[in-house]
């Protein structure tokens, strides 16, 4: 599946994994964030405060929504829920063309999404202990640029 490049506008994707989740009950498939996770969610708000997001996407899990919420509230932008298995396709690319997009995902889906946009397997799964990675993928002038930052 290609990056579906259109015209000469810039499209930027900011991809983050959810913040630290509560691991007290390994049987719980939908845990909330820990206190440290809530602090990280606030930190993401600060780190990304100068990025003019047009849309925020999150899976419907507590941990991803709670990570996106501080940014969503501050900017009065709704959170759009997505199915990580069906996120990046031609319709998604067209709907977000020329926009600046935040996507909150998981240790496996966040690098997978970056790789789909890039059309190459550049980024491996995120180690479970890391919640501070920021993938930035930009499509501009028929080219794709990416960078991976570690935010602590």
The residues, any chain, with a CB within 8 Å of residue 150's CB and separated by 6 or more, are 130, 132, 133, 134
pLDDT in tens, 100-145: 999 999 999 999 999 999 999 999 999 999 999 999 999 998 899 9
Q: Is residue 6 part of a domain?
A: no
143 within some domain: yes
Mean pLDDT, the chain, integer = 94
Residue with tokens 């405060």: 49
Given this model, what pLDDT does residue 48 score?
98
User: Residue 8: pLDDT above 80?
Assistant: no
At residue 2 the predicted structure's pLDDT band, cuts being 50, 70 and 90, is low
Total structural domains in the chain? 1
| Per-residue model confidence (pLDDT) at position 126 | 97
Query: 79: part of which helix (H) or strand (E)?
Result: strand 79-81
User: Is there a domain that residue 1 lies in?
Assistant: no
d(CA 123, CA 118): 10
Question: What whole-number distance in Å separates Cα of residue 22 and Cα of residue 40?
Answer: 13
Specify if 131 maps to a domain: yes
Q: Are 114 and 137 in contact (CB under 8 A)?
A: yes
- Domain assignment of residue 70, given as a range: 11-150
CATH number at residue 103: 3.40.50.1240
Query: Is 5 within the bounds of a domain?
Result: no
pTM given for the model = 0.92
- Residue 87 pLDDT grade (very low, low, confident, very high; cuts 50, 70, 90): confident
């Amino acid at each position: 599946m290609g990056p579906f490049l259109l015209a000469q506008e810039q499209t930027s994707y900011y991809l983050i994994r959810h913040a630290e989740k509560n691991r007290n009950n390994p049987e719980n498939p939908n845990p909330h964030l820990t206190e440290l996770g809530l602090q990280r969610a606030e930190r993401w708000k600060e780190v990304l405060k100068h990025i003019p997001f047009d849309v925020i996407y999150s899976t419907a899990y507590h941990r991803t929504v709670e990570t996106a919420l501080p940014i969503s509230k501050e900017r009065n932008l709704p959170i759009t829920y997505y199915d990580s298995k069906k996120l990046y396709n031609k319709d998604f690319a067209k709907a977000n063309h020329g926009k600046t997009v935040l996507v909150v995902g998981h240790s496996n889906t966040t690098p997978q999404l970056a790789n789909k946009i890039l059309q190459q397997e550049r980024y491996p799964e995120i180690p479970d202990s890391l919640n501070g990675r920021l993938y930035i993928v930009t499509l501009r002038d028929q080219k794709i640029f990416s960078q991976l930052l570690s935010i602590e």
